[in-house]
Amino acid sequence: MVAPLGPPASPAIPSGARPRSGTHHRFCPCGSPCARVPHVARLPRPPLSALLLPADLFVRDYDVSGSTSPPWTVRRVLEWTTSHLQKHGSETPRLDAEVLLAHARGCRRIQLYTEYDAELPEAVRARMRELVQRRAQLEPVAYLVGHREFFSLDLVVTPAVLIPRPETETLVIEVLAIAKTLPRPHILDLCTGSGCVAIAVARNCPGARVTATDRSPAALDVARTNVQKHRLDEQITLCCGDLFAAVADPVRFNIVVSNPPYVPTAEIAGLSADVRGFEPKEALDGGTDGLEVIRRIVAEAPRRLTSPGWLLLELSPEQAPAVRQFATETGCYTEIDLIKDLSGHHRVLRARYTGGGEAGP
């Protein structure tokens, strides 16, 4: 019988039990990458009853002969979890299993392999049972463990913020290439979320001053935690508000950068289950065509840029031509380029502002 997941009691051996052989343990009951929308095949979420794990999962069984089933070692738990998560839609089941078990043990992933045959104590097995069940329901691993690596930095993440993607590192690389040519660049990061872009830039360009904004107070709380974690309080200022309105009007910046929401509203329902079901919709939804926020930033940035100044935006490859055309039509920018990510897809718009043109309101 499959029971709801929960910390089990260790099985007791009845007094005077008679040997019996043959007892077995009942343990076995997302196209092209996008920084914001991993294009993976949609999988129907299985019914909850199919996801519940046996209450005695990862517990050693005794048969009446007094012998035990194989112990739940690091190796055995990794193998079982990998198989289980693969059946429930994970595209990276082995990696997920390693990250979750390392988190449950409070160790680094490499230690799983240096202690491959170590038997896991009950407290670790109980934590692992909960993590496996939640991951089988497609809850993102980053939310389960509470952090994600980005640009070689460990960042706190919660469901209040979008999980940083490797593709966004292209945006950071382009910002740094410009910032490092300036003596003391002043940078504005719009829609900062977890603060990943602002923090990566500040850590790699010590002379930079970064103002990071978001309209979500909950997201800014996460960003603040990360800023403090990396001891960047003196370099990064956090402001709550809608895009440029969060910053006092006279202030101008050498660089405006943003990874804004850019998924068309109608496509939200078609995202992979781990994205649409768990990540904040407000960090994804870019309006009818996905360009609502991007157009505002492109139009309003000239009022807040120095001359010369730079605008850098993350976008989806499909939107790249339309965004470049819109930037051109404003008459405010020169040197408008589309930068490819490591997968060869247009990921970043880079445009130089030198004054003139029709800036937005």
Residues making up the annotated binding site for substrate are 259-262
171 phi, psi to nearest 5 deg:
-60, -45
User: Across the chain, which distance is largest between two alpha carbons, in Å?
Assistant: 92
Element spanning 287, H or E: none
Query: Minimal CA–CA distance to 1: which of 24, 21, 26?
Result: 26
Going by the annotation, the residues of the binding site for S-adenosyl-L-methionine are 214, 259
Going by the annotation, the residues of the binding site are 214, 259-262
The region that residue 49 occupies, defined by phi over 0 for left and psi between -120 and 50 for alpha, beta otherwise, is: alpha
Query: Minimal CA–CA distance to 129: which of 72, 63, 44?
Result: 72
306 phi, psi to nearest 5 deg:
-70, 165
> What is the rounded distance in angstroms from the CA atom of residue 214 to the CA atom of residue 301?
16
Q: Distances from the Cα of 66 to the Cαs of 8, 61, 80, 88, 106, in angstroms?
A: 20, 10, 24, 35, 32
> What is the rounded distance in angstroms from the CA atom of residue 336 to the CA atom of residue 334?
5
Q: Which ranges of 48-168 would DSSP assign to H, the alpha helix? A: 48-51, 74-87, 93-105, 109-114, 122-136, 141-145
Q: Is the CA virtual torsion 17, 21, 22, 25 positive or negative?
A: positive
Amino acid identity, residue 79?
A: E
Query: What count of Cα atoms within 13 Å lies in the side-chain half-sphere of residue 282?
Result: 13
The secondary structure of 79-106 as a DSSP string is: HHHHHHHHHTT-SSHHHHHHHHHHHHHT
